[in-house]
Structure 1
């Protein structure tokens, strides 16, 4: 159980905070839709509200505002000297005047803005399987904010543009990873980029978007990463960040997400993970309504018995080595400073 000092009650974002990134007409249309109980056709087309991608549901403005304000609150906690985790956040696709990719408000942008107003130099590291396009665009002109995204290739994955190896808006670093990327490959990519960027950019604070859709079971990902490798990456980020804000993100397999973020929380709070889940934990996971898994598939029941996945190592393909080599020799942050991976 969490101790009272380990959590804070979230709060909605103020209009002033929302106006720091989002347009007034978008916010008004969003509020109007909630008040009326649905989205008008003209607003749906203009703002992408009420679509299959960004559906209407009762209270959807209040829900998005609470998640966003909680991210800003978490940033303020970081300014007080603590490491903070806002699991409802990480909505990295939202644009100033449109909802995009299940993201209504861009809480990472607002959280980073709060840190920047305090004069901090920010390294934003995006683990989500989808390119963090909204955050990248927001800070493309800010030399004191570096956005880094390791993601599925946008030639076949959302947002279907940007995020390519040669896309460097501002100082952004983008690494599209090959399909079926395994633990060994992801570990190599992280080891090649993280220490160099930490040294070259020298941030005051790291903002980690901890989307779990890189995990093998996720239905919207083409990756094959285990949560053990996810935790390995997080442990190093926690150990080496000068200050740290962790946000949630994409994750479309609720059982995989719950198992992964339980481990993430344990890392952030210094707790140990049990080799086997207690009966209460197993009961909670089995109660999750989820019908996309094949109950007859090998290993299906293991996800209810333990938190950690079976490791997924594999060969490191030349394709990935070539992409890393290109970045380390051509990106402005690395050129003339690094050698090949």
Structure 2
């Protein structure tokens, strides 16, 4: 480990539950933190509680009208006054983004957690900060999309830029980080890089190589889409050829990453064939680049691997814990007992922070 590492987590984050049946469940965050605890990594992390984001912080990237709409939709009485056309235009006519009483409060806590991570970096309390509840990268300035109400990653980037930073954002989620890219596409001081399954096959249908920013921000966005069933080797080859070179050329003072784990071959909503080999490598490269440039790193992560049962329950938590372990230099033995939440289906299973072997090529 080469500097203090902050981990932002608290039980309040369980309020970020879109619905009981929704694929994005807050239990995924608890699984990851329980694994970090069971491996002893928590002893090397500075645990920080989350807080709700303020309205002013939400409006760093979202319109005031949109924030007010979300607040109204979160109130059972006020939501009756919202016209159906406004609900549709704001993205809440889709089952992906259901309306609930905790919509504003729950997502504000996720944004606040990522801002706590950013504040820890800015204030010098940490060299690296990890916010496992974050990474809501599909939310746009005035509409929700893809399970995302407020864009915590973009808000953290905007806040850091406000503090004088030159910000680089790297997104390795299987879905294109369209919300973050769109918000900063004309900003030459924020670089966005996204590695994802091609939009020809997967939501949100964007993020092609020719999409590189607009106006003054031309050249400040980079996209590396993969065809379905791409496995570890081509994914890692693309990452190693593209990401370090772009970051070195851009020379950021802070690095924000979205380390979503849904490129894994067990993810039920996408079609890539990666294994947990990729996340330790990604974490290691980000860590090395941060210290090479002497800048800091923040990790808001939205794991979309649905933590249902068996292997999927284990992989979701493990994939989240791996980048955190990489930043810490894995100071604890790699094999540890499975946390209680992961033993619901197979009591005899043990998990390890050691990555899986290569997934067979298709």
Name the TM tier (shorter chain). 0.7 to 0.9
Q: Is the 1:217–1:253 Cα contact (8 Å) retained in structure 2? A: no
Q: Offset at 1:150?
A: 0.6
State the match for 2:163 in structure 1. Answer: 118
State the match for 1:26 in structure 2. Answer: 66
1:44-97 alpha-carbon deviations (Å, 9 max, x no partner) = 212122630101233121000111122122111111232111111111110111
Q: Is the 1:185–1:314 Cα contact (8 Å) retained in structure 2? A: no
- Most deviating of 191-200 and 42-51: 42-51
**Alpha-carbon distance in 1 for matches of 2:300, 2:349:** 24
Q: Offset at 1:270?
A: 3.6
1:287 is the counterpart of 2:336: no
**Alpha-carbon distance in 2 for matches of 1:252, 1:5:** 25
1:263 is the counterpart of 2:354: no
1:69 is the counterpart of 2:112: yes
TM-score by length of 2: 0.77
Query: Matches of residues 91-170 of structure 1 in structure 2 within 5 Å?
Result: 91-160=136-205, 162-169=206-213, 170=218
1:253 is the counterpart of 2:306: yes
Q: Is the 1:90–1:248 Cα contact (8 Å) retained in structure 2? A: yes
Of the candidates 295, 306, 310, which is equivalent to residue 356 of structure 2? 310
Where does the alignment leave 5 or more consecutive residues of structure 2 unmatched? 1-36, 308-312
**Alpha-carbon distance in 2 for matches of 1:77, 1:221:** 34
Change (3 A) 1:203 1:314: farther
1:116-135 alpha-carbon deviations (Å, 9 max, x no partner) = 11211111100000001111
**Alpha-carbon distance in 1 for matches of 2:237, 2:349:** 26
**Alpha-carbon distance in 1 for matches of 2:358, 2:329:** 25
State the match for 1:243 in structure 2. Answer: 296
RMSD: 2.4
Q: SS at the partner of 1:53?
A: coil
Change (3 A) 1:208 1:80: same
Q: SS at the partner of 2:48?
A: coil
1:105-158 alpha-carbon deviations (Å, 9 max, x no partner) = 011111001111121111110000000111111111111111000111111211
**Alpha-carbon distance in 2 for matches of 1:56, 1:5:** 35
- Most deviating of 146-155 and 246-255: 246-255
Query: Matches of residues 155-194 of structure 1 in structure 2 within 5 Å?
Result: 155-160=200-205, 162-169=206-213, 170-171=218-219, 172-194=221-243
Change (3 A) 1:302 1:314: farther
Q: Offset at 1:304?
A: 4.5
Change (3 A) 1:261 1:5: closer
- 1 or 2 for the larger relative contact order (CA 8 Å, sep ≥6)? 2
Change (3 A) 1:27 1:166: same
- Aligned pair count reads 302
1:3-45 alpha-carbon deviations (Å, 9 max, x no partner) = 5971111111111111121112211121112111667534421
Where does the alignment leave 5 or more consecutive residues of structure 1 unmatched? 289-299, 318-341
Q: SS at the partner of 1:124?
A: strand
**Alpha-carbon distance in 1 for matches of 2:352, 2:339:** 8
TM-score by length of 1: 0.82
Change (3 A) 1:92 1:115: same
Of the candidates 60, 75, 89, which is equivalent to residue 134 of structure 2? 89
Q: Offset at 1:194?
A: 2.1
